[in-house]
């Protein structure tokens, strides 16, 4: 079934959990390489320009030529413009502005909303490129404040058509950070196959691992004890639950 652009999402690969530092990718990547990256969605995108491969057409005329000879030359991966309604606090836009301030190459993902049913993935397009901009078209009284980023793509685009979805698999294990004197938060890590939600189980080492007192199944918990802590995370998508993955142990400060 044919689809429209409605629901399309654009991502940039990032390095940090806060999602604002773009990840430089100087060498070509495979589908598996792209899938292992940490992606941050770029918010408030209103338009995505033309992408895909386009070869230069080279011609040559001999003295005896009746019809010009033509052949394909060097390929151009495209220079699509990403139009955003400017949002100073959007993490994806912050990462794009940081990327545009350098001459480095970064990884990008565009995802359609075209899965044939809940058991399938969407079509995904992967590529790498430099970022130019942002430029601002400005305008009249009722025009939105926009920023345009131009991607100078440098690799042959990888297109992944909808596939039967598999349960998530862990790539980078979960971890724990403190957010207050007795507040702890789970960082899910990185998972393949596009998890839609996560499940948590917090445990303390009280002569053996047991669930902490109180709410032990939230992303953020309050724990005032002194025993070592760990959190086990399951990632969930339409295909089901992943195998559980456990964080390293942390010791609460005295």
Q: Please tell me the predicted confidence (pLDDT) of residue 164.
A: 87
Q: How far apart are CA 38 and CA 188, in angstroms?
A: 12
* pLDDT tier for residue 165 given thresholds of 50, 70 and 90: confident
Query: Per the domain annotation, does 2 fall within a domain?
Result: no
List b or e across 40-69, with b for residues whose CB sees 16 or more CB atoms inside 10 angstroms: bebbebeebeebeeeeeeeeeeeeeeeeee
Total number of domains in the chain:
2
Q: Are 185 and 152 in the same domain?
A: no
Q: Are 222 and 155 in the same domain?
A: no
% of the chain at pLDDT higher than 90: 80
Hey, what are 219's tokens?
A: 């992303």
- pLDDT, average across residues 183-192: 92
Domain assignment of residue 230, given as a range:
170-246
Q: What pTM value is reported for the model?
A: 0.72
Contacts of residue 6, Cβ cutoff 8 Å, sequence gap at least 6: 113
Q: Are 110 and 187 in the same domain?
A: no
- pLDDT, average across residues 193-203: 92
Classify residue 142 by its DSSP letter.
Answer: T
Q: Please tell me the predicted confidence (pLDDT) of residue 63.
A: 93
Tell me the pLDDT of the chain averaged across its residues.
93
Which CATH number covers residue 213?
2.60.40.10
Q: How far apart are CA 182 and CA 193, in angstroms?
A: 33
Q: How far apart are CA 244 and CA 75, in angstroms?
A: 45
Hey, what are 69's tokens?
A: 């000879």
- pLDDT, average across residues 194-216: 92
* pLDDT tier for residue 89 given thresholds of 50, 70 and 90: very high
Q: Are 21 and 82 in the same domain?
A: yes
Q: What is the pLDDT of residues 214-240, one digit of tens each?
A: 889 999 999 988 899 999 999 998 888
List the one residue out of 186, 206, 189, 162 whose CA is nearest residue 243: 189
Provide the β-strand partners of residue 50. none
Q: Please tell me the predicted confidence (pLDDT) of residue 253.
A: 85
């Amino acid at each position: 079934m044919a689809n429209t652009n409605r629901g399309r999402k654009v991502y940039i690969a990032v390095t940090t959990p806060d999602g604002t530092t773009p990840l430089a990718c100087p060498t070509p990547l495979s589908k598996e390489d792209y899938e292992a990256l940490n992606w941050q969605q770029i918010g408030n995108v209103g338009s995505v320009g033309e992408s895909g491969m386009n070869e230069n057409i080279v011609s040559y005329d001999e003295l005896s030529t009746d019809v010009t000879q033509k052949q394909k030359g060097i390929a151009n991966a495209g220079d699509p413009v990403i139009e955003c309604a400017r949002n100073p606090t959007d993490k994806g836009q912050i990462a794009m502005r940081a990327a545009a301030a350098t001459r480095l190459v970064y990884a990008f993902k565009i995802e359609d909303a075209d899965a044939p049913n809940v058991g399938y993935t969407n079509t995904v397009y992967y590529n790498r490129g430099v970022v130019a901009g942002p430029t601002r078209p400005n305008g009249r009284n009722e025009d939105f404040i926009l920023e345009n980023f131009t991607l100078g793509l440098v690799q042959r685009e990888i297109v992944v058509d909808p596939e039967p979805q598999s349960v998530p698999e862990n790539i980078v294990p979960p971890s724990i950070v403190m957010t207050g004197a007795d507040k702890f938060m789970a960082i899910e890590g990185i998972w393949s196959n596009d998890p839609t939600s996560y499940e948590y189980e917090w445990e303390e080492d009280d002569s053996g691992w047991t669930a902490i007192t109180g709410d032990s199944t939230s992303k953020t918990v309050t724990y005032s004890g002194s025993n070592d802590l760990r959190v086990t995370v399951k990632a969930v998508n339409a295909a089901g639950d992943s195998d559980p993955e456990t964080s390293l142990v942390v010791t609460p400060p005295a």
